[in-house]
Chain A
């Protein structure tokens, strides 16, 4: 169990978390819901150690090597889809991940030559190829059609690691099957 206790955080003079506590499962799929601007991404960042809370604790984190799909794609504009996907892994893993997401035709294209949905899939492939012991997906479905959402969820569940997802869509959350839901805000 990941225990979040009495979290407080202000960013730029705005209170994002005020005495926030929650328990999160260490296995399976956890979906974070809530209106935008309520701090879902910031909670992710604190769980990943990218953002320190002003006060409060997050304990019981068992993962060592989280793989992240950020809210933005964060692709290197000078590198091909394959090079981007292989950033934290080898070419083989990256190729396999891109194939799972239906990107085998576009591996050697640069991000600017890809559509928005394809760029999203490269970012997801990078996280899958990394082989982390937990997956953090911040709005993974942005720009993806129904078919690609399904293949993304399939590939994510196949990884067999705990998955933490931020999505504002009911349909997106349902695709993951049984899951815990945490409401933020």
Chain B
């Protein structure tokens, strides 16, 4: 009964948002400025009917998710290095601050000079994710309860055992939370990178094209695609995490 209610509530909320959108679009009265939800959805469905759209979406997904995975891996590595050594932390902290503070567009323009346009979104997603995972994971490692570590040693655990049985489970919640938060950032910045780098067959290219041709419905439909994919990926990630955390 409760589950049913919550679904009903969610559907109702979605409906209210759609109604507001529809009303606004009617008020504006020009699809060019604000397309209606119906025409956006119709276009999205039409896009989903084309093989080409799937290829475009797949390639965008591949670029951004590769960057994401690499960013997570690099973030873990740097977290371990800086949590273990104070000197490394002091040495790498400025690097982390600069990466965090630099506007993403500056990175995109720079990356454009260095890399193939297909690699720019990957690199940008990596740059977004890496410092977030790095900071949170290092923080979690440093905040692992020293009394538990002492207890583990007392009970005969060696280094590998301490890592596997105490450090990893202790760090996991904060690490997984950083993974979820950074996924959204990877996705948004990755698409932004595509809009500027314009790799062939990319959602970013399609967004740029629709802006150029003033096809606002296309712009909305592709944006909706990005939002839906981002939500879907986050759902999958959270589901995977629940499995890892067993809750």
CB distance from B120 to the nearest CB of A (A): 40
A99 at the interface (CB under 8 A from B): no
B9 at the interface (CB under 8 A from A): no
Interface residues of A in 31-69 (CB under 8 A from B): 48, 50, 65-68
Interface residues of B in 90-149 (CB under 8 A from A): 147-148
CB distance from B11 to the nearest CB of A (A): 35
> Residues of B contacting A72 with CB < 8 Å?
147
CB distance from B156 to the nearest CB of A (A): 5
CB distance from A128 to the nearest CB of B (A): 12
Q: Is the CB of B169 within 8 A of A76?
A: yes
> Residues of A contacting B170 with CB < 8 Å?
76, 78
Q: Is the CB of B169 within 8 A of A130?
A: no
Cross-interface CB contact of B155 among A50, A79, A87, cutoff 8 Å: A87
Interface residues of A in 63-107 (CB under 8 A from B): 65-68, 70, 72, 74, 76, 78-79, 87-88
Contact with B along A107-147 (1 / 0, CB 8 A): 00000000000000000001000100000000000000000
Cross-interface CB contact of A88 among B148, B155, B169, cutoff 8 Å: B155
Q: Is the CB of A50 within 8 A of B150?
A: yes
User: What is the interface residue range for chain A against chain B?
Assistant: 10 to 19
> Residues of A contacting B150 with CB < 8 Å?
50
> Residues of B contacting A130 with CB < 8 Å?
155-156
Given A66-B154, A130-B156, A87 and B147 touching (CB < 8 A)? no
Q: Is the CB of A74 within 8 A of B169?
A: no
Q: Is the CB of B147 within 8 A of A88?
A: no
B184 at the interface (CB under 8 A from A): no
User: What is the interface residue range for chain B against chain A?
Assistant: 10 to 19
Q: Is the CB of A76 within 8 A of B156?
A: no
CB distance from B239 to the nearest CB of A (A): 19
Contact with A along B141-168 (1 / 0, CB 8 A): 0000001101110111100000001100
Q: Is the CB of A50 within 8 A of B154?
A: yes
Q: Is the CB of B147 within 8 A of A70?
A: yes
**For residue A80, which residue of chain B has the nearest CB?**
B246
**For residue B155, which residue of chain A has the nearest CB?**
A88
CB distance from B22 to the nearest CB of A (A): 47
CB distance from B246 to the nearest CB of A (A): 8
Given A87-B152, A87-B157, A76 and B165 touching (CB < 8 A)? yes
> Residues of B contacting A66 with CB < 8 Å?
154
> Residues of A contacting B152 with CB < 8 Å?
87
A163, B150: Cα distance in complex, Å:
21
A48, B155: Cα distance in complex, Å:
12
Q: Is the CB of A88 within 8 A of B157?
A: yes
**For residue A123, which residue of chain B has the nearest CB?**
B151
> Residues of A contacting B165 with CB < 8 Å?
76, 87
Q: Is the CB of B151 within 8 A of A74?
A: yes
**For residue A49, which residue of chain B has the nearest CB?**
B154
> Residues of B contacting A126 with CB < 8 Å?
155
**For residue B147, which residue of chain A has the nearest CB?**
A74
The 7 closest A-B pairs by CB, nearest first: A88-B155, A74-B151, A78-B169, A88-B156, A68-B154, A87-B155, A74-B147
Contact surface of B with A, Cβ cutoff 8 Å: 147-148, 150-152, 154-157, 165-166, 169-170, 172, 245
Could you list some 9 contacts between A and B, CB below 8 A? A48-B154, A66-B154, A70-B151, A76-B148, A76-B166, A76-B169, A79-B169, A87-B151, A87-B157
Given A66-B154, A68-B155, 8 more pairs with CB closer than 8 A: A48-B154, A68-B151, A68-B154, A70-B147, A72-B147, A74-B151, A88-B155, A88-B156
